[in-house]
A = this chain, B = another copy of it.
Amino acid sequence: MSDPLKDYDPHAFEPFAVTVDLAVFTVREGRLHVLLIRRGQDPYEGSWALPGGFILPRESAEEAARRELAEETGLSEAVVDSLHLEQLRTYSGPDRDPRMRVVSVAYTALVPDLPEPHGGGDAAHAEWVAADGLGELAFDHGQIVADAHDRIGARIEYTCLATTFCPTAFTLGELQQVYETVWGTVLDRPNFRRKVLATPGFVEPVAGASRLTGGRGKPASLYRAGPATALHPPLLRPEGRTA
């Protein structure tokens, strides 16, 4: 902005459409899944695409992202408002969309597995698709999903975000599986435990609660997400970072 707006006539330029795209992830059955929509219209008809839509005239991009997320997933406004939404980056290639100039602000969200993406309206055909080995997506959405996966992998090293993949009460084994799934690595259980419990505010024990996870084995005690948001000694993945 700044200077060039001095003699600007709002309708002089060819207009840019500004949209949001959502890369919503969950961990299901030990695999990372993305929420996708099967396209029914002309460009890329039949391909998978990310949910998203226009920013309305009086909305910020984040507000638009939350609104679209609620519409696509059928989650209540209250739940969506409390979710952690992270701006990924903005995609602005002049030929992203063959129809017109579309600049899109991409957001990432991490949700627990529980909610099936049912819901009225747009959500009718939204589905969870395994993130590894999905084919060509519409537009540059394949790139967006790849960027989002990288970002999440890096974010869970320094932040407490991994708990947002879990239900309100979860076991440490479940939390560990989130890390293993996102990073595609195997972690040492005793050491993972120690690091997580040694980080103040990461997780807090739920009184005397426990849950049987795999059908067999000792029931694991339950934890909930703590008040901390950053991970002070970071939880680095085994092999070097993705940069």
Contact = CB atoms under 8 A, between A and B. Distances in A.
A54 B16 CA distance: 11
Nearest to A86: B89
Contact of A6 (B11, B41, B87): B41
User: Main SS of chain A's interface residues?
Assistant: loop
Contact of A94 (B52, B58, B89): B58
Q: Looking at chain A, what size class is its interface with the partner chain?
A: 35 or more
A122 interface: yes
Given A15-B11, A241-B232, A243-B230, A92 B2 contact: no
A73 interface: no
Nearest to A16: B18
A37 interface: yes
* Count of this chain's copies in the oligomeric assembly: 2
A110 interface: no
Contact of A55 (B2, B92, B243): B92
Contacts of A158: 241, 243
A137 to B, nearest CB: 10
Contacts of A18: 16, 18, 92, 103
Interface string A69-89: 000000000000000000101
A240 interface: yes
A155 to B, nearest CB: 10
Given A1-B97, A2-B53, 6 more contacts: A1-B53, A2-B50, A14-B57, A16-B16, A57-B101, A60-B93
22 contacts: A1-B96, A1-B104, A2-B39, A2-B49, A2-B52, A2-B139, A3-B41, A4-B19, A4-B53, A5-B99, A5-B102, A10-B17, A10-B100, A13-B15, A13-B17, A14-B57, A16-B16, A18-B103, A57-B94, A62-B92, A159-B243, A232-B240
